[in-house]
A = this chain, B = another copy of it.
Amino acid sequence: MTDDPVLSELRARIDELDAALIRLMGERFEVTRKVGAHKREVGLPPADPAREEVQIARLRLLAEEADLDPTFSEKLLRLIIDEVIRDYARTGGTPGGSAP
């Protein structure tokens, strides 16, 4: 793709990071599906606002430490939470929950 060795090396690193990011994201949805299934089994409500609040505060801190732009990390977090809700509804739950 490029004859520039510096660029090639940096791009190889980006590709590695992307693969790891996608893998971890997939694993995260596996776990949230287990949470959803478990909650249905024991009759817990899908949403847990207290947990969600702690989680968001923690992620904000981590994002700051990783020098991510706050607007970007908000959007990222929102995207993941929305997908967890959609995924929960898709896999047999009733929509309305926000933090399985």
Contacts and interface: CB of A to CB of B under 8 A. Distances in A.
The secondary-structure label for the interface of chain A is: helix
Given A24-B17, A73-B22, A67 B7 contact: no
A43 to B, nearest CB: 11
Contact of A69 (B10, B13, B73, B83): B83
Interface string A7-31: 1001101110111111111111111
Interface string A51-93: 1001100110011011111001101100100010011000000
Interface of A: 1-2, 4, 6-7, 10-11, 13-15, 17-32, 34-35, 38-39, 42, 44, 48, 50-51, 54-55, 58-59, 62-63, 65-69, 72-73, 75-76, 79, 83, 86-87
